[in-house]
Structure 1
């Protein structure tokens, strides 16, 4: 770390990755953004930089915004539902309630419904508590415009995010029951655990078999799951893991890793199921990814 530029970048790398990931929902794209951030950072006249952290966040935000706009075309051509790339995370991420909520599959999917600038403003303001003036510099807007965008984005997210805070312990307990019902192909057990308006989204990316549209309703979802296992004549099992700071299941078919199942729990029942099977999105579940808000 004898090079000050390298030392500054490394010191803030986990923060920059978290910013890029929350904006993009893709670890691979976030890593590309960090590489570009580094290349721009080493060209900066550091004598003119007052706050290295703020400057690096600004570069990362601008590059993420550019990447987000190009990703829109990629997502439009994607086969079936597009889900965020799951990350195996460290226990300290789960212990940080604010961080765990911000990277949860449920909230990340809500962020997908925002326009690129709205998403950048929301993430910087609501998640990382960045000041309006600083955000304005990062997104190329006036502070007044950023305040309006932040208000609109917050209202949009609040209308769609989970209505109540659910502890990791409660989520884990519900998932344990869900795991038992899955492994036993227990249709009634699943029905008892699923909210009436539950939605299942499965992401195979055209590479692995998955529902091409979201499946809605407890009866349809439970029958889709049990029927799928029965037709395939496979042994399905789950292993509890921490993904995106929240309890989830690593799913195995006949003993081979098959994907990640995350859940949104409300009122003691599962209101959202997110099953990522696309192998290209499962590269970050073998080793823990450090995330931070600071």
Structure 2
């Protein structure tokens, strides 16, 4: 007579943070990640784990399969309305989640990384996330996606190149752009009007396309004080915003639930920010190469 060995809830709870971390990077949404982890628990609770030698690895396989099925079944994820995406960022197969927790989680993972991952095919995303972020061997990943290990390596490599993007501009320029973009984001998030004003050239010009705020045409705002006041009015959007390489220069991306919704492109000189281009037009967004900044390239 065989004995069915069930997984103790306490053992699963010990694995939950890591499983949620994998699921969040795979799915880009806290709500969906929680759904995937819950489905993993339901499957694990029904399984006989008596012969499982590496329980952590086995649970990684289960949650990865769940996430892969979700990604494949999504096809194209529905668009997130710009304002709704800011105020209700945790929607997924089920509504819910804490917007502040989602914002903090996106910040810790990297908004730009979530944006790039969202552009990858499901198999590419799985290969990159599991291998590059969680050190899962390619042989194990290959078994998950039904591809040879050599092909799995190629998928991860292709994803890696997308994450890194094309060669950026000169390091000195990049470091200056990064300092300015990070300071702009920090001032906007913190509601520090004077700090924001100090970053702007007195004659700065901000242009926003008609999709940023629904208008018949683009909106242009001139002057440091007017631009700073407008930025202060958009602090909600800053919660889901991070720095990124945008066509090789540093800017800001806003991406609730990992979906790119808006970018800020800066023109920076020695006198400060002289121009800001705010883009929410999907056609223009699709034409911008988004990549992750090298964490060590701080200048």
Q: TM-score of the superposition, structure 2-length normalised?
A: 0.58
Deviation at 1:66, TM superposition (A): 1.2
Alignment of 1:26-65 (within 5 A): 26-65=29-68
Task: Give me the whole-angstrom Cα distance separating, in 1, the residues matched to 2:189 and 2:212.
Answer: 19
Which runs of 5 or more structure 2 residues have no equivalent in the other structure?
1-5, 91-98, 258-299
Are positions 1:118 and 2:97 aligned together? no
Are positions 1:274 and 2:284 aligned together? no
Aligned residue in 2 for 1:157: 163
Secondary structure at 1:47 match in 2: coil
Deviation at 1:263, TM superposition (A): 2.6
Task: Give me the whole-angstrom Cα distance separating, in 2, the residues matched to 1:26 and 1:124.
Answer: 17
Q: Is the 8 A contact 1:59 1:138 kept in 2?
A: no
Aligned residue in 1 for 2:146: 140
- When residues 211 and 106 of structure 1 are mapped into structure 2, their CA distance, relative to the original with a 3 A threshold, is farther
Query: CA deviation digits over 1:8-59, x for unaligned, max 9?
Result: 2111100000100001110001111111100100122111212111111111
Larger radius of gyration: 2
Aligned residue in 1 for 2:12: 9
Q: Is the 8 A contact 2:208 2:220 kept in 1?
A: no
- When residues 12 and 180 of structure 1 are mapped into structure 2, their CA distance, relative to the original with a 3 A threshold, is closer
Aligned residue in 1 for 2:136: 130
Alignment of 1:73-84 (within 5 A): 73-75=76-78, 77-79=79-81
Deviation at 1:151, TM superposition (A): 1.7
Aligned residue in 1 for 2:241: 262
Q: Is the 8 A contact 1:259 1:275 kept in 2?
A: no
- When residues 80 and 89 of structure 1 are mapped into structure 2, their CA distance, relative to the original with a 3 A threshold, is closer
The number of residue pairs the alignment matches comes to 227
Deviation at 1:158, TM superposition (A): 1.6
Q: TM-score of the superposition, structure 1-length normalised?
A: 0.59
Q: Is the 8 A contact 2:185 2:238 kept in 1?
A: no
Secondary structure at 1:74 match in 2: coil
Which runs of 5 or more structure 1 residues have no equivalent in the other structure?
202-208, 239-250, 252-257, 278-294
Are positions 1:175 and 2:185 aligned together? yes
Task: Give me the whole-angstrom Cα distance separating, in 2, the residues matched to 1:63 and 1:112.
Answer: 17
Q: Is the 8 A contact 2:142 2:149 kept in 1?
A: yes
Q: State the Cα RMSD in Å.
A: 4.9
Aligned residue in 2 for 1:292: none
Task: Give me the whole-angstrom Cα distance separating, in 2, the residues matched to 1:104 and 1:132.
Answer: 24
Are positions 1:104 and 2:83 aligned together? no
